[in-house]
Structure 1
Amino acid sequence: MVPLGAEALSGESDNVLERYRRWRKGVWDERSHVERMEFQSLIIVRLMVWFFFLAWLVMPVAQLVSEPPGLPLLLGVLLLICATAQCVLSWRLLPLAFGEYLGRGTVPARSWLLAGALMAGTLALDLGLEATGALDKEFTVFVALFAVIPYTAERCLTMPLRTFQQWSLAAAVVVTGAFALVGVRDMSLLGYAVGVYGGAMICLASIRCSAWSLGVMWQAERGREAQARLAVAEERLRFGRDLHDVMGRNLAVIALKSELAVQLARRGRPEAEEQMIEVQRIARESQREVQEVVRGYREASIGSELAGAQAVLTAAGIDCRVTGAEAADELPTGAHAALGWVVREAATNVLRHGDATWCAITLRVGAG
């Protein structure tokens, strides 16, 4: 039976929600806090390029639709195609440019050649529209302003600051001179210069600052990872030290008594058997002590876990408050290990899967 009306809408809504949950789990929930920030920043920058495309190019060029077929209409169609190609290429190159800025790779040189050629093509078509008089001067200024945005959005991340500023100034001079050659003589020339240079500076001020912030956040993330690895290394050293303290003395005694038993056995002395019995006793005692060390190493104490969780969360920038820690003394021994693992797992979930700014941990012991 085919669902109709409200049932069909309800089923479609459930499918949309299910697809959203799968997308969120695969694209968002599995990412760390810094990875989410990078993903969000990249989407915003990509959409910014398309916003400028719609506002500064499509709307001015749309007035050519009413023009009769001829050179102006052809130039307008070619301009839309070239500008769309710029935006598509920018969508692909922006993640690579962010990666190069963050030290994760480089953008291929042929991609820069293609991006530069598309920018030059857009400016040339804008120049042609200005020469034919098909567009008003204020519109061609906005088109020139857009033309540099897709290219400089990536280039501002991969060029040194001084080089980028020099390139932007040179591009503004060249574009202004080109429009002067086709007969532009009024204050519009200043608009072209300011538009080209200003568009580059918009990208520098917004996109490069975002990338710099991401770089700082990644450095902090790597610092926290280094602290975690250091904590693991320190715990291994502590375990090795405890094991050495337990086994070093006993193994030395076992070696001496075994050597003494060998000498006594060679002489046929009955004391050799007593020495081997003593060696057996010390070996069993060493086995028991090693088991106690390992058991103490693996067990989680609620008191130490509360202190550790507070320290780790505070280091991650989360305001963590622990109350009732003194109640841990009232808990039975078996509860210490179980609750210690609960606190450890909860702190891990807050760090990995949450975006918390504060966390409160309360321990209370009830009757019964």
Structure 2
Amino acid sequence: MGVRGWHRSWQERSKMERIDLYSRFTISCIPWLFTLAWQGTPFDHDIRHEPLPLTLGLALLLVSLAQCLLSNRNLHPSYEHYLGISVFPERRLLAPIGLLVVAVGLLAALAGVDGVKSSGLLLMTLNTPMALVITRVLLVPVRRFLVESLCLTALITGALAVAGVQGGTLAGVVPCSLFGCVLVLISVRPSAWSMSVMWQTEQARGIQARLAVAEERLRFGRDMHDVLGRNLAVIALKSELAVELAQRGRPEAVDQMIEVQRIARASQQEVRDVVRGYREADLSTELAGAQGVLSAAGIECTVTGDSGEQLPAPVQSALGWVVREAATNVLRHGDPRHCVIRVGITAGSVALQVENDGAPAAGTAPSPAADEPGSDGPGSGLAGLRERLAALDGSLEAGPARGGLFRLTATIPLAEVPQPRRAPLVLRPAAMVAPGVMVRSRSGLVEE
């Protein structure tokens, strides 16, 4: 969690990192804006243009700027403390508290020499606690922050009262001091709370994705168990029977071992079929999956045209890989808000078009991927997709389009499309793939 690598460019950050960075930058600008507005404005009309008042006012301005620097320096650790990522070191508050005491003293001295009008004094009072409370509001609960704000208001009011401020001006110091603290409370605290909720949501999405992967692994494991479980049990039983027959010198042991060999080869083929079934990409499934994944990432995805269910299996598989790769590139490159997937089928060809409004920045365009290790065909990069489509006399075009769009178009002719060379996966009971299965009874091994 949090923004990692502040030196990275804007385009290299995820959406959550951009929001986080924008939020922190906005909070870091608050003390500077208030210092320039509330601490600098009185120099025009409210501070007497004499050496001592101007010197005190300038010193107070410099102290306020130093407070802003410390506030920005402490913003990141205080933000991380609020998000629960790390603990804020309390020693970092010593310097801001010291500068606050100096600022209150300078403000009281400026009022004591009658160097500032009431309106200017109230503006300076507004700014005095801002830099410190921006850090403090992220470190303590709201109730404690309000108590500390009252104590801080009492400190400022008491210092100005000792300096000789009286009447309505002194009465106005109290709401001005409290207003600055409350303003920070209702602006900075909700912003940090919103970021905390969004980071938790982002973390939940990551956990959900990992759970989906774990569930898929379990499903794959169940499929493998269903395919191999009975056949391996049959192989074990027939091998045991062959050993017993061989020990008795009976020639039927050879037949049993031949049967074991046949079942093992059949099991090997079924394993290949299971793995191939997981590698093959079904068009309708990939369209639904791409729409779900993009929508979950905050990208409005629309699928139009034909579902492609009547297309030959090789065409569906090739286009399914195109959809999968296109959806991956939409998430990985650029920052789209909308994505449209169109499937058009004519008498002589089928065309798949994926279009989004997040054209990749220079240097981030998807590069051809290497072949997948252990796969039966080329990889899922653009070069691999072209090879898949070329096997069906198809073509692939990808690049920027008008209106800041990025468009990927895959076209496959439907005339004389090769039929799938692989037999569809059929999970058969062990008794069907291995006739003459041996079962164990109380009296020994018996053939059914």
Higher relative contact order (CA 8 A, sep 6+): 1
- Give the drift of 1:24: 11
Q: What is the rounded CA distance, in whole Å, between the counterparts of 1:341 and 1:147 in structure 2?
A: 62
Hey, what's the Cα distance between the residues in 2 that align with 1:219 and 1:322?
30
* Residues in 1 aligned to 2:198 and 2:262: alpha-carbon distance in whole angstroms: 57
- Structure 1, 28-37 or 337-346: larger mean CA deviation: 337-346
Q: Which has a greater percent of strand?
A: 2
Question: Is structure 2 residue 16 aligned with structure 1 residue 34?
Answer: yes
Residue 202 (str. 1) matches residue 183 (str. 2): yes
1:292 matched to 2:273 = yes
Deviations 1:12-51 (A, max 9, x none): xxxxxxxxxxx99933222221111110011111112211
- Distance verdict in 2 for CA 1:346–1:120, change over 3 Å: farther
- Higher helix content, 1 or 2: 1
Matched letter for residue 156 of structure 2 = V
1:105-144 → structure 2 map (5 Å cutoff): 105-144=86-125
Contact 1:264 1:270 in 2 (8 A): yes
Deviation string, structure 1 residues 97-120 (Cα, Å, up to 9, x no partner): 111111111221111121111122
Identity of aligned residues (%): 49
**Aligned twin of 1:232:** 213
Cα distance change of structure 1 residues 168 and 245 upon mapping to structure 2, 3 Å threshold = same
SS at match of 1:363: strand
The aligned runs of 1:327-366 (5 Å cut-off) are: 328-366=308-346
Corresponding residue of 1:14:
none
Partner Cα distance (2:291, 2:299) in 1: 9
Cα distance in 2, alignment partners of residues 223 and 87 from structure 1: 36
Q: Is the 8 A contact 2:46 2:120 kept in 1?
A: no
Give 1:94's aligned residue: 75
Residue number in structure 1 paired with 2:443 = none
Cα separation, partners in 2 of 1:350 and 1:168, compared to 1, 3 Å = farther
Structure 2 residue aligned with 1:43, among 10, 25, 28? 25
State which drifts further: 342-351 or 42-51.
342-351
The 3 A distance-change label for structure 1 pair 96 and 338 is: farther
Aligned pair count reads 344
Cα pair 1:32 1:353 within 8 Å, conserved = no
Following the alignment from structure 1 to structure 2, what is the Cα–Cα distance between the partners of residues 65 and 203?
27
1:308 Cα deviation from its structure 2 partner: 1.4
Q: Retained in 2: the 8 A contact 1:303–1:325?
A: no
Give 1:310 deviation, angstroms: 1.9
CA-to-aligned-CA distance 1:298-327 (integer Å, 9 cap, x gap): 23222111111222233344433222352x
How far off its partner does 1:357 sit?
4.2
After superposition, the C-alpha distances for 1:254-304 in whole angstroms (9 at most, x for unaligned) are 101111111111111111111111111111111111111112122322211
Q: Name the residue aligned to 1:52.
A: 34
| Superposed displacement of residue 170, structure 1 | 1.9
Matched with 1:152 is 133
Q: Which moved more, 1:330-339 or 1:235-244?
A: 330-339
The code of the aligned residue for 1:89 comes to L
TM-score (norm 2): 0.72
Residues 46 and 119 in structure 2, CA contact (< 8 A), matched pair in contact too: no
- Shift of the 42–24 alpha-carbon distance from structure 1 to 2, 3 Å rule, reads closer
> How far apart in 1 are the matches of 2:202 and 2:184?
26
What one-letter code is carried by the residue in structure 2 that aligns with 1:39? Answer: L
| Distance across 2 between alignment mates of 1:210 and 1:27 | 23
Q: CA deviation at 1:64?
A: 9.4
Quick one: distance in 2 between partners of 1:67 and 1:28?
46
Cα-to-partner distance string for 1:150-205 (whole Å, 9 max, x where unaligned): 11111111110111111112211221122112111122123211121111111111
Kindly provide the amino acid, as one letter, of the partner of residue 278 in structure 2.
Answer: Y
Matched residue, 1:9? none
Change in CA separation of 1:29 and 1:342 when aligned onto 2, cut-off 3 Å: farther
Question: Structure 2: which amino acid aligns with 1:363?
Answer: V
**1:16 aligns to what?**
none
| 1:63 to partner: Cα distance | 6.6
Q: Deviations over 1:55-97 (max 9, x none)?
A: 111232467998454x434323322321111111111111111
Counterpart Cα distance in 1 of 2:173 and 2:328: 54
Alpha-carbon distance in structure 2 between the residues aligned to 1:350 and 1:147? 48
SS in 2 for 1:184: coil
Q: Distance in 1 between matches of 2:7 and 2:132?
A: 33
Residue type at the aligned position of 2:18 = R
Does structure 1 conserve the Cα–Cα contact (< 8 Å) formed by 2:81 and 2:88? yes
Give structure 2 stretches of 5+ with no counterpart. Answer: 349-412, 414-448
Q: Report the alpha carbon displacement of residue 236 of structure 1 after superposing the two structures with TM.
A: 0.3
Segment of structure 1 superposing worse, 253-262 or 52-61: 52-61
Q: Which piece of structure 1 moves more, 347-356 or 274-283?
A: 347-356
Q: Give the letter aligned to residue 13 of structure 2.
A: R
**Superposition pairs of residues 305-344 of structure 1, within 5 angstroms:** 305-326=286-307, 328-344=308-324
Q: TM-score, normalising length from structure 1? A: 0.87
